[in-house]
């Protein structure tokens, strides 16, 4: 049962599951308890058809009945899973989860490599009425522990590459460990308890919380974002309309599954459509091109850095990628020239949505937009998202320039426990983005800057504060300041400025080894270290990061000139 710690490791379809009970005060956070939606708005979204009355689990079952032998997921370069196999495996897993005591409302965290099994597991968790806690495969031990504590997890399952690390976390937290293995080609749990039969209908509704994932905040503490299925059902409809998607499309999502971009491109939209999704365990330009060619992929989904790498490495020129029809890119500004080159090479059209894990989409481009609009803007503002522009708490929408905020059917419920809602929401309930944008007379949105202290590396927001907190655990570091340094491929990388406690010298390798030993996520590792006698400070005593950004640019320019 859930309160009996176990540690079981298996090979094949391996993964990680965490189960926990999430409590907010006297009850659970839901639509009624979130500032994101009011009851009348929820009714209106359903009446307009933006929200559905069926679930992802329902869609899997329909696909199994209508197209049982069509491939649902395939782990490139092999191992296809049909919709019938998917449906059977999800039900069997759900019964195993029920057999070990998982109940409606329990939270089960998933720390898993990207593969077909993670999607089967997500649906299995839904079918037994529980909620997925998605943890990125690249998360380090510190981040995992923080999320487990915040969500009060009691069960954890690791895939093979994380088995030792997962078992070690039992010394810090009261968690049990399970493993997702396989019986032939079908994912299954290795447990002692007998399965418990469940009803045929999903025990979670589309307005219930089905997913909690993490995002990095400016405070350096990961915050957990709370999702309903219907926010992604609405997003799914916009994706269909903008890209003219059909069930005949073949998807290749190159983004980690648990995060917002990955959720709709690898899980909800392929399942709602009954389309095939090709899964890469890890993105490389060569593997991506090979998968596109072999499986005749029509829809590629990737962050802008991945698309840039496909072009700059030149790999894609060695493959026939003419099957591609649409590329969904995002996460950061899209370099114009590589994007044009990719479109001309493949014949595909590159589309973008502007939004976040918290807000969903505020704007999007379509296949009918002219190229300069598709590649240089975030597309037209979506009317039903009621986008406004703010300067502080003042509405400056009429000026066409400011910090965007939205309220509509695509938003999440906010943060678990209401953490940091004062900064996420305006006083009247609009959910903020961390950018500065312009909206022109035709309704096209363009990002012009950021309000938060992030380094945007390859489409991933890296909290400078989180990097600094990790670095400050080194005994020789007195003060740390993380800033963005320009990079031609990733857009930005993490540069760390430091004052030391003594005259002892540390180098970047020493610092990275220390951080890895502390279980720090690889995404937070600095890629350049600059040791200074004294960091520049403003008149108020704060570190003058503007001067540090200027300094690293000057250092890089000087290095380029001397090379």
Residue 515: inside a domain: yes
Q: What CA–CA distances, in Å, run from 141 to 7, 125, 149, 162?
A: 18, 24, 12, 10
| Residue in 525, 530, 535 with CA at minimum distance from that of residue 559 | 530
Rg (CA), the chain: 23
Find where tokens 């999704």 sit. Answer: 277
Give the pLDDT confidence of 522-537 residue by residue, as tens digits. Answer: 889 999 999 998 888 7
- Range(s) of the domain holding residue 517: 453-562
CATH (domain of 494): 3.30.300.30
Cα–Cα–Cα angle for 472, 476, 482, rounded to 5 degrees: 40
State how far the Cα of 141 lies from the Cα of 241, in Å rounded to an integer: 40
Would the pLDDT of 22 be above 50?
A: no
Residue 480: inside a domain: yes
Cα–Cα–Cα angle for 171, 175, 180, rounded to 5 degrees: 115
Q: How many domains would you assign to the chain?
A: 1
Would the pLDDT of 356 be above 60?
A: yes
Would the pLDDT of 385 be above 50?
A: yes
> In the chain, what are the helix, strand and coil shares in percent, each to the nearest 5?
35, 30, 35
Cα–Cα–Cα angle for 52, 355, 261, rounded to 5 degrees: 70
State how far the Cα of 95 lies from the Cα of 251, in Å rounded to an integer: 29
Q: What is the dihedral of CA 547, 550, 554, 555, to 10 degrees?
A: 60
8 Å CB contact between 87 and 57: no
State how far the Cα of 149 lies from the Cα of 238, in Å rounded to an integer: 35
Report the pLDDT averaged over residues 313-328: 92
Handedness of CA 370, 374, 375, 380 (dihedral sign): positive
Residue 371: inside a domain: no
Q: Which of 24-38, 461-475, 476-490 has the lowest mean pLDDT?
A: 24-38
Residue 533: inside a domain: yes
Residue 457: inside a domain: yes
Q: What is the 3-state secondary structure (H, E, C) of 135-172?
A: ECCCCCHHHHHHHHHHHCECEEECCHHHHHHHHHHHHC
What would the two tokens of residue 419 be?
């953490």
Residue 506: inside a domain: yes
Phi, psi at 190, each rounded to 5°: -100, 100
Give the pLDDT confidence of 65-123 residue by residue, as tens digits. Answer: 999 999 999 999 888 999 999 999 999 999 998 998 888 888 898 988 899 999 999 99
Position 452 scores a pLDDT of 72
Burial of 465 (0-12, 13-18, 19+ CB in 10 A): middle
8 Å CB contact between 275 and 248: yes
Position 201 scores a pLDDT of 55
Residue 319: inside a domain: no
Position 186 scores a pLDDT of 66
Residue 74: inside a domain: no
Would the pLDDT of 9 be above 80?
A: no
Give the pLDDT confidence of 287-320 residue by residue, as tens digits. Answer: 999 999 999 999 999 988 788 888 877 788 999 9
8 Å CB contact between 94 and 124: yes
Of 170 and 300, the structure prediction assigns the larger pLDDT to 300
Q: pTM for the whole thing?
A: 0.82
């Amino acid at each position: 049962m859930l309160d009996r710690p176990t540690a079981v490791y298996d090979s094949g379809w391996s993964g990680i599951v965490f189960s926990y009970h999430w409590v907010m005060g006297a009850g659970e956070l839901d639509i009624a308890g979130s500032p994101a939606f009011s009851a009348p708005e929820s009714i209106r979204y359903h009446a307009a058809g933006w929200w559905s009355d069926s679930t992802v689990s329902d869609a899997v079952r329909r696909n199994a009945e209508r197209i049982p032998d069509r491939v649902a997921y395939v782990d490139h370069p092999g191992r296809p899973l049909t919709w019938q196999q998917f449906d059977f495996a999800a039900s069997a897993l759900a019964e195993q989860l029920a057999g070990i005591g998982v109940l409606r409302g329990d939270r089960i965290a998933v720390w898993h490599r990207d593969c077909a099994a993670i999607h089967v597991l997500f649906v299995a968790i839904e079918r037994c009425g529980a909620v997925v806690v998605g943890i990125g495969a690249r998360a380090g031990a510190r981040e995992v522990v923080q999320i487990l504590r915040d969500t009060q997890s009691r069960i954890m399952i690791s895939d093979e590459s994380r088995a030792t690390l997962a078992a070690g976390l039992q010394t810090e937290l009261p968690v049990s460990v399970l493993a997702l293995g396989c019986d032939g080609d079908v994912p299954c749990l290795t447990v002692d308890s007998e399965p418990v039969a469940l009803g045929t209908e999903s025990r979670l509704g589309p307005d219930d919380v089905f997913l909690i994932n993490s995002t990095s905040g400016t405070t350096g503490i990961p915050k957990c974002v709370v999702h309903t299925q219907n926010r992604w059902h609405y997003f799914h409809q916009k994706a269909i309309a903008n890209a003219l998607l059909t069930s005949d499309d073949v998807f290749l999502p190159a983004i980690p599954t648990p995060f917002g971009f990955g959720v709709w491109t690898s899980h909800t939209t392929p399942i709602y459509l009954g389309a095939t999704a090709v899964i890469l365990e890890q993105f490389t330009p060569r593997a991506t091109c090979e998968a596109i060619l072999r499986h005749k992929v029509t829809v590629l989904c990737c962050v802008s850095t991945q698309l840039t790498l496909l072009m700059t490495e030149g790999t894609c020129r060695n493959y026939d990628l003419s099957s591609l029809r649409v590329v969904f890119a995002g996460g950061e500004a899209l370099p114009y020239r590589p994007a044009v080159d990719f479109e001309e090479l493949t014949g595909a059209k590159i589309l973008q949505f502007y939004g976040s894990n918290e807000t969903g989409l505020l704007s999007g481009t379509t296949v009918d937009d002219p190229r300069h609009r598709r590649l240089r803007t975030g597309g037209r503002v979506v009317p039903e998202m009621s986008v406004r522009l703010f300067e502080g708490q003042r509405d400056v929408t009429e000026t066409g320039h400011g910090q965007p905020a939205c309220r509509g059917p695509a938003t999440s419920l906010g943060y678990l426990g209401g953490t940091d809602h004062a900064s996420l929401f305006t006083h009247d309930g609009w959910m903020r983005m961390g950018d500065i944008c312009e909206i022109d007379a035709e309704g096209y949105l363009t990002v012009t800057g950021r309000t938060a202290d992030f380094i945007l590396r390859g489409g991933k927001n890296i909290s400078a504060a989180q990097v600094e907190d990790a670095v400050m655990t080194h005994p020789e570091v007195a003060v740390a300041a993380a800033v963005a340094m320009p990079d031609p491929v990733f857009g930005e990388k993490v540069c760390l400025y430091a004052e030391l406690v003594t005259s002892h010298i540390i180098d970047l390798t020493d610092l990275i080894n220390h951080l890895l030993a502390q279980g720090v996520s690889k995404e937070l590792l600095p890629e350049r270290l600059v040791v200074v006698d004294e960091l520049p400070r403003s008149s108020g005593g704060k570190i003058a990061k503007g001067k540090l950004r200027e300094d690293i640019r000057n250092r890089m320019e000087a290095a380029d000139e001397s090379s």
